[in-house]
Chains A and B, each alone.
Chain A
Amino acid sequence: MSETLTFARAITEGLRSALESDPKVLVMGEDVGRNGGVFRVTDGLQKDFGEDRVVDTPLAESGIVGTAIGLALRGYRPVCEIQFDGFVFPAYDQITTQLAKMHYRSRGRLQVPVVIRIPYGGGIGAVEHHSESPEALFAHTPGLRVVSPSTPQDAYDMIRAAVASPDPVLFFEPKGRYWSKGEVAAGPYPTAQAAGGADVLNRARIARPGTDVTLVAYGPTVATALKAADTLGAEGTSAEVVDLRAISPLDVTAVAESVRRTGRCVVVHEAPTFLGSGAEVAARVSEECFYSLEAPVLRVGGFHAPYPVAKLEHEYLPSVDRVVDAVDRVLAH
């Protein structure tokens, strides 16, 4: 059984499923209760599950994550909402210094199954600090899982797996895709171990098969890569689109398998390319696919400049044209 849902609603239903399946699951954040979140992702959950389980917190991100860690140590599974990407940094210390390391430093005695949902990325004409893509900063930290869905079905499956997983998960939601629609099928709620090892948290998926070039993307840029593949297809170039789903762990096996077939690779993300997740993909592809590569790996992404004013964001963000241009360049080799 499946139904058509927006991307945002798919997450809502995933959270609802988690709250129904596990009495230890909590949702907490600024405005997530009565208001249902500024993007309405938690709409209706407080009404159905009460103020103790869907918690309007004080306006303090470090406090949200820090108390979530304490709740997790007491046996709860908090799902924190950070209202916008650019507001996560007050919690950066708690996330990287405490949350990421608790399981390790306790030699596995203490689990902290905290999920941190972060609406991220640009393209919605927002003001400063509301359009950023800080995922690589977290993926660089051992102990955290970092994922980003690109379809409503993955959004539903991945939020449920993230909540059920025994590890902390940074869940990056491409806010520009919140209103896109797709079919979502429900399934059984995963166990903790099954969730941690679930494909949706660990394995890339082939979003579109192709033979001439591999486009690697995740979250918001999967749609961009698919559109570029359409354009390229009309020109006679067959592009394969790999949706990473997870940046940590990075599914190097799937990417390498694709690039060995196509011989060419272009990575697309909204974050600045310098030291971004695309740099890691390029390094891994050069290690794994050296004798299959017909051209250097290219990256298409944000520039090494702060996210620009909204009136310029479409020149900053990786566009279909820039992806096609990069593909033309790797094909020219």
Chain B
Amino acid sequence: MRIELERRADVSKLFSILSPFIALGLTLFFGGIMFMMLGKDPFSALYSFFIEPLTEVWSLHELAIKAAPLILIAVGLSVCYRSNNWNIGAEGQFIMGAIAGSILPVVFYEWQSPLVLPLMMLLGMLGGALFAGIPAFLKAHLNTNEILTSLMLVYVAQLFLDWLVRGPWRNPGGMNFPETRTFDATAVLPEMFASGRAHWGFGFAILAAILIWFMMRYTLKGFEITVLGQSQRAGRFAGFSSRKMIWFSMLLSGALAGLAGIAEVSGAIQQLRPVISPGYGFTAIIVAFLGRLNPLGIVVSGLVLALTYLGGEAVQVSLQISDKPIRVFQGLLLFFVLSCDTLIHYKIRMIWYDLNDTTGEGAR
């Protein structure tokens, strides 16, 4: 048996919409099998993984809190990936944004003013953008592979944060725990609704998604991103500079990841710790692809992936299994998304035996 692909004359509209859903369905199916192999009832496991977190108000707030960084980061990454710049170090840019934004509430903690919060957000964006500027510079001017450099810098950022919270930024009144002082109330991102914990980070995420969607769809910049991503040569003929695009897309995604970092720290954690992210920067890569690199799609897929974090916590309690299945789920999901995307551009044919095979007996 073999599988043959036949290119469609046109992109299939049907499968463009269906493919993320097929991928989700397949992930649920294989996820159910996985729970069965762990000796749990797959239906109740999937229920507590994917439905239960949606039934209560407080957990909807948690969903928004977890979705905010995922959407913010993924929206930026979508611009990178569409323009063929492979920034996979958003996790590091998230951390550096969180650190840069925390300078005010940790170092200058005595300064309390309504200006603190907006300045923190700006510093966060700046920190993330500068950190993404390193692989951007290396790629644009020294021809260095951005995939590897941006990833290596994640480890550097994690170690830098670790040093800060154990060393110079450790809370002097914190019994030697590796954490900074907790932020003053003026440095905490306020809640969006009176009904729960969800903070303005989610608002930023939605706003960013809408702005980037508008840019991609209605502006010359958006056209430039798409053209350069599909063919650098064609872009050059149109007078677009791929070097400038490297800078633009990397700085933009870095700034959004940095904003996600400081919003998470200010809104949800309110201090720095050695670990401030359960891998948001990497999960956001999945979010970007599941949303088909479309900012509005990313809002939906960000909520879906946020649900896997919540569901993972829920099954830990209700089924007494570890949190490990979360990452398996996320990995499976990305695999199925990528395979289903093939359906958009190709027809898939299964060939059980080969009629052209002149050497085989069956052909004669």
Chains A and B are bound partners: no
